[in-house]
Structure 1
């Protein structure tokens, strides 16, 4: 049995696994998958230290990838279509490189293979995460990741409701291992190991999705598209980092297009 918590959402056809990002959970996708269920069995996974999955003594990108590999081998047992969002993309990308037999097709959403592009905010976060674990944990508890005016938050509220957005964020925060928040945050916001060069070994059909205004990930998404053989890039107009929540219809259409290409061979 795999240790990861996962949720079989039903549907018809091959299995499509969706993997959330840093500080998220399967709740990031639960409300937007209905259009996909007509062509795929949808499975949502909670990464280590997130959602209902177990905690670890130490968190690394390699450890996250290994846990998903174990899940695919023990719980699914067949090649899957797989989507990784943000840090989830960094989790699944090495699986497509080194365990291609497990991956029927790949969607990389608002993610990176080398490092997110840097801005003034990134420099602040890099300085924060360079401190000791205890110091970082204290800063995070005091709201160090808060960004003030957040246009993406407003789009989510417009699409759903303030109450729904607050409940989702609270759900994710309540179930997040503080140690994962610190250790993985250091890898996300500081210079983590690059896997961009080895992305050229991916053979699965690949779509790279990115929000039009997700500035830190526009450059990395283009570099992934350039590096992965025959990858296609789709930009979601008006979106930021979580287009499935701000633009769910356009997002679902992009995924259905990807799956249609896969099914057409």
Structure 2
């Protein structure tokens, strides 16, 4: 089963907020946000397959990832939840809401739309796969290796959170990088479906990101007719990390 972390407990009758990370992320990306919800709501953060501390398994289809998350909800006896996902996790959240609408009270989607995207991470994945882990003696060397492909230090820091180190000093990727790279084109896409999720839905995009355009809204509302789109002007692709205060205000206002 997927690795997860509970912030709060499930003893109350209130539905928890389930949060899903993006490509090459982990549940740790939601740690600051989730801790900030203490006393307000229970948050369940999940590592998606082949990410974080979840099992390394074959396949990265959205239907497989939806089934994985539903299995966690079933195991924890969560009949319905509020659901939020970022980027790839946003696509998983959308598919789960479309396939199991009775289990999602409200849906939040962070900086992604229900569409296929041109592949934009292939050079990055190639650099990560090609990193000579056996020759590294420090994280600084790993950062220098990535800097040829990933120019922004913030982005490199985000990616290098996947880099673990064994007790004897050997570096390794915690995520299942070969499987992620193998299925990257599938991850960039989005399954074709005629399903509709009618409940309240909030799309939050970064004003400095190009992942969700104004022209996407009619297409979004075909599947999510109650969808609203808000922009965090100062944020890029990671509003929950880059502008946490403004992001949290939007989420709390939507969830009530």
- Asked whether the two chains share a fold, i.e. TM above 0.5, the reply is yes
The 8 Å contact of residues 20 and 86 in structure 1, kept in 2 or not, is answered as yes
How far residue 222 of structure 1 moved from its aligned partner, in angstroms, is: 2.8
Gaps of 5+ in 1: 130-135, 155-164, 261-265
CA distance 1:171–1:144, shift in 2 (3 Å): closer
Tell me how far 1:252 sits from its aligned partner.
0.4
1:209 has 2:209 as partner: no
Partner Cα distance (2:183, 2:78) in 1? 28
Query: What is the rounded CA distance, in whole Å, between the counterparts of 1:26 and 1:139 in structure 2?
Result: 20
Aligned to 1:250: 246
Residues 110-165 of structure 1: per-residue CA shift (max 9 Å, x gap): 1121123x5xx83xx56x69xxxxxx757742559933246xx28xxxxxxxxxx8
In 2, Cα distance between the equivalents of 1:220 and 1:83?
22
TM norm structure 2:
0.78
Instruction: Give unmatched runs, 5+ long, in structure 2.
Output: 132-145, 164-172
8 Å Cα contact 2:84-2:108 kept in structure 1 = yes
Paired positions, count: 229
Identify if the C-alpha distance between structure 1 residues 50 and 221 changes in structure 2 by more than 3 Å, giving closer, same or farther. Answer: farther
For 2:62 and 2:190, locate their aligned partners in 1 and report how far apart those are by CA, in whole Å.
9
Who is 1:175 aligned against? 174
Higher helix share: 1
Query: What is the rounded CA distance, in whole Å, between the counterparts of 1:145 and 1:26 in structure 2?
Result: 27
Q: What pairs up with 1:107-122 in 2 under 5 angstroms? A: 107-116=108-117, 118=118, 122=120
Aligned residue for 1:10? Answer: 8
Superposed structure 1 runs of 4+ greater than 4 Å apart: 136-139, 142-145
Does 2:130 align with 1:141?
Answer: yes
- Determine the C-alpha separation between the residues in 1 that align with 2:93 and 2:159: 23
In the alignment, the residues of structure 2 paired with residue 36 and residue 205 of structure 1 have an alpha-carbon distance, to the nearest angstrom, of: 21
